[in-house]
Amino acid sequence: MKILTIAIPVYNTEKYIRRCVDSLLVNEIQNDIEVILVNDGSKDNSIKILNKYKEKYPETIVVIDKENGGHGSTINAALEKATGKYFRVLDSDDWFDSKNFTEFVKKLYEEDADVIVTNYKKEFVYNGESESIEWKHLKENKVYDFNKFDLKDLDNDYFVMANSTYKTEILRNSKLKLMEKTFYVDMQFNTIPIKSIKTFKFMDLDIYRYYIGRPEQSMNLQNFVKNRANHEKVMKFLIEYYNSNLKEFSDNQEKYIKQIIFYMLTTHYYIYCYYGKTEKNKLYKEVKNFDKYLKNVNSELYNMMNKIGIIRYNRKTNFNFVKINPYLFSKIINRCGRLVKGKEE
């Protein structure tokens, strides 16, 4: 058994895939890892590049070539095939810090926590700058009991694809199956396994490099607004998942998942505030229907959203759509990027 499976969803990323895969292929750990490259019906030369890697590194590289089904379908396919004790996802326009990744893989042999969390960096396309995202209050090498630790130690952050490595059996036992042909399914990946987690551990290593700013990314501001129906679809899934499992959650699980939903709801309402009054007739029915839906399925979550002034005001004015400053909205989307990294597929 390999110690780690890295799943790499690939869709039209011939410009970036070599940087991504090469960052993993360090000689001293090649026999320890399994890299599953899932081509999601790319229309460029991605599959040719993937097959060349498979030919050169047959003991490390696995290629799955499938029809387009979206980001979620690629992770589903990789998880089904995975043989590693641990499992993590690396998007094909991102990469790992090779040195820290090598150290991470070696240390994994000593671990048995359900989840290992690490640090990562955001790399911004438009200005060439980077931002470190670090766990400042978690203690290295301490095994935390997820159901008993103080959630404040997470600094209002979460286990996301860029910072988390799960035991493969935990993901499978949680019955994780992501939606297909839908953006923002990262939120399912970030939420569903929580019910099955008992322990987690922090390694103070900066591994993931998260490349932000490509026009194709669904976290791009305009694409986020354009794909709001997908966002709502995932949002409703999370709410219904929360409702149906509420009695089975521990206190920490409930609080953790509720906080994720709160943030995603805030973002969803803010999408409509981005448009402003000129598009009111077009969007009025959408946001009213969603607000009514939320009130009907979970009044607690509905009332919780009144903590946000702009949402509270819009409700009082029958959604007269107070225009939100684009800069502020961009900051909200950037914050959301810690939870979600969607791809245009």
CA distance 38 to 18: 14
Tell me if 263 sits within 8 A of 157, measured CB to CB.
no
The sign of the torsion formed by the CA atoms of 72, 13, 165, 152 equals negative
pLDDT of residue 283: 79
Structure confidence by residue, pLDDT tens digits, 273-295: 766 556 666 778 888 999 999 99
Q: Under 8 Å CB-to-CB from 142, ≥6 apart: which residues?
A: 201, 202
Count of CB atoms situated within 10 Å of the CB of 51:
15
Share of the chain above pLDDT 70, in %: 88
Number of neighbours of residue 67 by Cβ within 10 angstroms: 8
Each residue's pLDDT tens digit, 302-311: 999 999 888 8
Cβ–Cβ < 8 Å for 113, 200: yes
Higher pLDDT, 284 or 29: 29
- How many Cα atoms sit within 13 Å of 10 on the Cβ side? 35
Q: pLDDT tens digits for 37-74?
A: 999 999 999 999 999 999 999 999 999 999 999 999 99
CA distance 179 to 328: 30
CA distance 265 to 282: 20
The proportion of the chain whose per-residue pLDDT surpasses 90, expressed as a percent, equals 72
pLDDT tens digits, 290-333: 999 999 999 999 999 999 888 888 898 888 766 666 556 566 55
108-112, 119-123, 242-246, 273-277: range with lowest mean pLDDT: 273-277
pLDDT digit string, tens, across residues 190-224: 999 999 999 999 999 999 999 987 655 545 566 77
Q: Are 87 and 114 in contact (CB under 8 A)?
A: no
**What is residue 279's predicted lDDT score, i.e. its pLDDT?**
63
Structure tokens at 294: 């939320």
C-alpha count within 13 angstroms, C-beta hemisphere, residue 59: 8
Confidence of residue 342 (pLDDT cuts 50, 70, 90): very low
Full-model pTM: 0.92
Mean pLDDT, the chain, whole residue set: 90
Alpha carbons 3 and 105: distance in angstroms, whole number:
8
Instruction: Dump pLDDT digits (tens) for 145-188.
Output: 999 999 999 988 899 999 999 999 999 999 999 999 999 999 99
Query: In 136-146, which positions are buried (b, 16+ CB within 10 angstroms) versus exposed (e)?
Result: eebeeeeebeb
Give me the pLDDT at residue 273, please: 74
C-beta of residue 276 within 8 angstroms of C-beta of residue 328: no
CB distance 180 to 73 below 8 Å: yes
Q: Where are the beta strands (DSSP E) in 134-198?
A: 143-145, 164-167
**Per-residue model confidence (pLDDT) at position 229:** 92
Give residue 271's pLDDT.
Answer: 81
